[in-house]
Protein backbone atom coordinates (compact mmCIF):
# COMPACT_ATOMS: atom_id res chain seq x y z
CA UNK A 1 0.00 0.00 0.00
CA UNK A 2 1.24 3.49 -0.85
CA UNK A 3 1.25 6.24 1.76
CA UNK A 4 1.30 9.98 1.22
CA UNK A 5 2.59 12.85 3.33
CA UNK A 6 0.60 15.99 2.55
CA UNK A 7 0.57 19.62 3.61
CA UNK A 8 -2.92 21.10 3.65
CA UNK A 9 -3.81 24.77 4.04
CA UNK A 10 -7.15 26.47 4.46
CA UNK A 11 -8.45 28.14 1.32
CA UNK A 12 -7.87 31.87 0.98
CA UNK A 13 -11.35 32.48 -0.38
CA UNK A 14 -13.40 34.98 1.70
CA UNK A 15 -16.21 32.44 2.09
CA UNK A 16 -13.85 30.00 3.80
CA UNK A 17 -11.83 32.49 5.81
CA UNK A 18 -14.77 32.94 8.17
CA UNK A 19 -13.92 29.47 9.49
CA UNK A 20 -10.60 30.74 10.82
CA UNK A 21 -12.36 31.73 14.02
CA UNK A 22 -12.89 28.05 14.78
CA UNK A 23 -9.18 27.45 14.26
CA UNK A 24 -8.39 30.23 16.74
CA UNK A 25 -10.81 28.87 19.34
CA UNK A 26 -9.13 29.50 22.74
CA UNK A 27 -10.49 26.22 24.10
CA UNK A 28 -7.81 23.93 22.70
CA UNK A 29 -9.97 20.82 22.87
CA UNK A 30 -12.73 22.43 20.84
CA UNK A 31 -10.15 23.79 18.41
CA UNK A 32 -8.75 20.31 17.83
CA UNK A 33 -12.27 19.01 17.27
CA UNK A 34 -12.92 21.70 14.65
CA UNK A 35 -9.62 20.92 12.94
CA UNK A 36 -10.44 17.22 12.90
CA UNK A 37 -13.83 17.80 11.26
CA UNK A 38 -12.35 20.12 8.65
CA UNK A 39 -9.58 17.68 7.75
CA UNK A 40 -12.04 14.81 7.61
CA UNK A 41 -13.72 16.60 4.72
CA UNK A 42 -10.42 16.46 2.81
CA UNK A 43 -10.48 12.66 2.87
CA UNK A 44 -14.00 11.37 3.41
CA UNK A 45 -15.88 10.08 0.39
CA UNK A 46 -18.33 7.90 2.32
CA UNK A 47 -20.29 8.96 5.45
CA UNK A 48 -19.59 5.53 6.98
CA UNK A 49 -15.90 5.64 6.25
CA UNK A 50 -13.49 5.25 9.18
CA UNK A 51 -10.59 7.63 9.74
CA UNK A 52 -7.49 6.17 8.13
CA UNK A 53 -5.12 9.15 8.29
CA UNK A 54 -2.88 10.81 10.86
CA UNK A 55 -2.53 14.56 11.17
CA UNK A 56 -0.87 17.32 13.13
CA UNK A 57 -1.32 21.08 13.20
CA UNK A 58 1.72 23.19 12.33
CA UNK A 59 2.61 26.59 13.79
CA UNK A 60 2.09 28.32 10.42
CA UNK A 61 -1.58 27.30 10.33
CA UNK A 62 -1.11 24.40 7.92
CA UNK A 63 -1.68 20.71 8.60
CA UNK A 64 0.49 17.70 7.86
CA UNK A 65 -1.29 14.43 7.12
CA UNK A 66 -0.12 10.87 6.54
CA UNK A 67 -2.64 8.79 4.62
CA UNK A 68 -2.96 5.69 2.41
CA UNK A 69 -4.68 7.77 -0.27
CA UNK A 70 -4.29 11.28 -1.58
CA UNK A 71 -6.46 13.99 -0.05
CA UNK A 72 -9.15 15.32 -2.33
CA UNK A 73 -8.07 18.22 -4.52
CA UNK A 74 -11.65 19.40 -5.10
CA UNK A 75 -12.40 20.39 -1.51
CA UNK A 76 -13.53 24.01 -1.30
CA UNK A 77 -12.28 24.38 2.29
CA UNK A 78 -8.63 23.93 1.35
CA UNK A 79 -6.09 24.96 -1.21
CA UNK A 80 -4.86 22.15 -3.47
CA UNK A 81 -2.76 19.98 -1.16
CA UNK A 82 0.99 19.56 -1.52
CA UNK A 83 1.56 15.80 -1.55
CA UNK A 84 4.50 13.47 -1.85
CA UNK A 85 4.87 9.73 -1.69
CA UNK A 86 5.95 8.54 1.73
CA UNK A 87 8.19 5.55 1.14
CA UNK A 88 11.38 5.87 3.20
CA UNK A 89 13.99 3.21 2.49
CA UNK A 90 15.33 2.18 5.87
CA UNK A 91 17.72 -0.45 7.14
CA UNK A 92 18.76 -1.59 10.59
CA UNK A 93 21.21 0.86 12.11
CA UNK A 94 19.82 3.95 10.37
CA UNK A 95 19.62 7.03 12.60
CA UNK A 96 16.71 9.41 12.24
CA UNK A 97 15.75 12.70 13.82
CA UNK A 98 12.14 12.76 14.91
CA UNK A 99 9.38 14.98 16.25
CA UNK A 100 6.31 13.54 17.90
CA UNK A 101 3.28 15.09 19.58
CA UNK A 102 1.61 12.31 21.48
CA UNK A 103 -0.95 11.32 24.09
CA UNK A 104 1.24 8.75 25.88
CA UNK A 105 -0.61 6.23 28.04
CA UNK A 106 -0.09 2.89 29.72
CA UNK A 107 -2.22 0.31 31.50
CA UNK A 108 -1.73 0.20 35.28
CA UNK A 109 -1.37 -3.37 36.46
CA UNK A 110 -2.86 -2.74 39.91
CA UNK A 111 -6.06 -1.09 38.67
CA UNK A 112 -6.34 -2.25 35.05
CA UNK A 113 -7.01 1.38 34.06
CA UNK A 114 -5.31 3.28 31.27
CA UNK A 115 -3.53 6.41 32.46
CA UNK A 116 -1.55 9.24 30.93
CA UNK A 117 2.07 8.44 31.82
CA UNK A 118 3.01 12.01 32.73
CA UNK A 119 -0.16 12.80 34.67
CA UNK A 120 0.27 9.56 36.57
CA UNK A 121 3.82 10.53 37.53
CA UNK A 122 2.74 14.04 38.51
CA UNK A 123 -0.12 12.81 40.69
CA UNK A 124 2.29 10.56 42.58
CA UNK A 125 4.13 13.51 44.16
CA UNK A 126 2.90 16.18 46.63
CA UNK A 127 0.87 18.98 45.06
CA UNK A 128 3.26 21.69 46.21
CA UNK A 129 6.09 20.05 44.20
CA UNK A 130 4.21 19.40 40.98
CA UNK A 131 4.75 22.69 39.16
CA UNK A 132 8.50 22.67 39.78
CA UNK A 133 8.99 19.02 38.76
CA UNK A 134 6.47 18.91 35.92
CA UNK A 135 8.91 18.93 32.99
CA UNK A 136 11.46 16.70 34.73
CA UNK A 137 8.69 14.14 35.20
CA UNK A 138 7.59 14.62 31.60
CA UNK A 139 11.15 13.94 30.46
CA UNK A 140 11.49 10.79 32.56
CA UNK A 141 8.04 9.37 31.84
CA UNK A 142 8.18 10.30 28.16
CA UNK A 143 11.54 8.61 27.61
CA UNK A 144 10.38 5.46 29.42
CA UNK A 145 7.21 5.35 27.34
CA UNK A 146 9.05 5.89 24.05
CA UNK A 147 11.58 3.20 24.97
CA UNK A 148 8.75 0.73 25.51
CA UNK A 149 7.25 1.73 22.18
CA UNK A 150 10.57 1.12 20.49
CA UNK A 151 10.81 -2.39 21.88
CA UNK A 152 7.63 -3.26 20.00
CA UNK A 153 8.11 -1.01 16.98
CA UNK A 154 11.68 -1.67 15.94
CA UNK A 155 13.67 1.32 17.19
CA UNK A 156 15.81 2.58 20.06
CA UNK A 157 15.46 6.25 21.11
CA UNK A 158 18.50 8.46 21.69
CA UNK A 159 18.93 12.03 22.94
CA UNK A 160 15.20 12.42 23.61
CA UNK A 161 13.92 15.77 24.82
CA UNK A 162 10.50 16.51 26.29
CA UNK A 163 9.93 19.95 24.76
CA UNK A 164 6.47 20.61 26.18
CA UNK A 165 3.73 18.98 28.19
CA UNK A 166 0.23 20.31 28.82
CA UNK A 167 -3.28 19.02 29.28
CA UNK A 168 -6.33 19.71 27.14
CA UNK A 169 -10.00 18.86 27.50
CA UNK A 170 -11.57 16.85 24.73
CA UNK A 171 -15.09 17.63 23.47
CA UNK A 172 -16.36 14.10 23.55
CA UNK A 173 -19.19 13.56 26.03
CA UNK A 174 -22.51 15.35 26.42
CA UNK A 175 -22.51 19.13 26.25
CA UNK A 176 -19.23 20.11 24.58
CA UNK A 177 -19.15 23.41 26.43
CA UNK A 178 -19.66 21.80 29.84
CA UNK A 179 -16.17 20.87 31.00
CA UNK A 180 -17.45 18.42 33.62
CA UNK A 181 -18.57 16.15 30.76
CA UNK A 182 -15.24 16.32 28.95
CA UNK A 183 -12.18 14.16 29.65
CA UNK A 184 -8.73 15.68 30.15
CA UNK A 185 -5.78 14.25 28.28
CA UNK A 186 -2.10 15.11 28.21
CA UNK A 187 -0.14 16.18 25.15
CA UNK A 188 3.58 15.51 25.20
CA UNK A 189 5.99 16.95 22.62
CA UNK A 190 9.06 14.77 22.13
CA UNK A 191 12.04 15.23 19.83
CA UNK A 192 15.45 13.67 19.40
CA UNK A 193 17.01 10.81 17.51
CA UNK A 194 16.23 7.15 17.14
CA UNK A 195 18.06 4.16 15.74
CA UNK A 196 16.09 1.76 13.56
CA UNK A 197 16.46 -1.88 14.61
CA UNK A 198 13.62 -3.43 12.59
CA UNK A 199 12.66 -1.33 9.54
CA UNK A 200 9.50 -3.29 8.75
CA UNK A 201 8.12 -3.07 12.29
CA UNK A 202 9.05 0.61 12.55
CA UNK A 203 7.34 1.65 9.32
CA UNK A 204 4.26 -0.42 10.17
CA UNK A 205 3.89 1.46 13.46
CA UNK A 206 4.75 4.80 11.91
CA UNK A 207 1.74 4.71 9.59
CA UNK A 208 -0.53 3.49 12.41
CA UNK A 209 0.64 6.29 14.68
CA UNK A 210 1.81 6.37 18.27
CA UNK A 211 -0.23 6.69 21.44
CA UNK A 212 -3.87 7.66 21.62
CA UNK A 213 -6.09 10.66 20.66
CA UNK A 214 -5.04 10.30 17.02
CA UNK A 215 -8.32 11.79 15.82
CA UNK A 216 -7.31 14.97 17.65
CA UNK A 217 -3.95 15.50 15.96
CA UNK A 218 -1.67 13.27 18.05
CA UNK A 219 0.53 10.35 17.06
CA UNK A 220 2.11 11.40 13.75
CA UNK A 221 5.89 11.00 14.02
CA UNK A 222 7.88 13.17 11.64
CA UNK A 223 11.26 11.74 10.64
CA UNK A 224 14.30 12.75 8.64
CA UNK A 225 17.83 11.45 8.25
CA UNK A 226 20.09 12.43 11.13
CA UNK A 227 22.89 14.73 10.02
pLDDT in tens, 165-184: 999 887 654 444 454 555 67
Using CA atoms, how far residue 128 sits from 23, 54, 156, 168, in Å, is 35, 37, 35, 21
4-85 shares its CATH topology with 95-225: yes
CB 67 within 8 A of CB 45: no
Instruction: Tell me the C-alpha distance between 112 and 106, whole Å.
Output: 10
Fold entry, domain 4-85: Alpha-Beta Plaits (3.30.70)
Residue 194 has, within 13 A of its CA and on its CB side, a CA count of 30
Residue boundaries of the structural domains of the chain: 4-85, 95-225
Angle between helices 199-208 and 127-153 (to 10 degrees): 130
Q: Which residues contact 181 (CB under 8 A, 6 or more apart)?
A: 173, 174, 175
Fold entry, domain 95-225: Alpha-Beta Plaits (3.30.70)
Predicted local distance difference test score (pLDDT) of residue 173: 42
22-31, 91-100, 106-115, 201-210: which has the minimum mean pLDDT?
Answer: 22-31
pLDDT tops 70 at residue 204:
yes
48 confidence band (pLDDT: 50, 70, 90): confident
For 133, phi then psi, to 5°, come to -100, 5
Share of the chain above pLDDT 70, in %: 89
Amino acid sequence: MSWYLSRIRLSRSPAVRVLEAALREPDTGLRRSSQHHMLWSAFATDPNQKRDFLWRAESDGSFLTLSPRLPRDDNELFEPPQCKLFAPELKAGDRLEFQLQVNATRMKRDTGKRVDVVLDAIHAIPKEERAEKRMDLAQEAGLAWLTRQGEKAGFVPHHVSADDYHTETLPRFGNERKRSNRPDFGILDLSGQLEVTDPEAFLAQLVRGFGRAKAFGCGLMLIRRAS
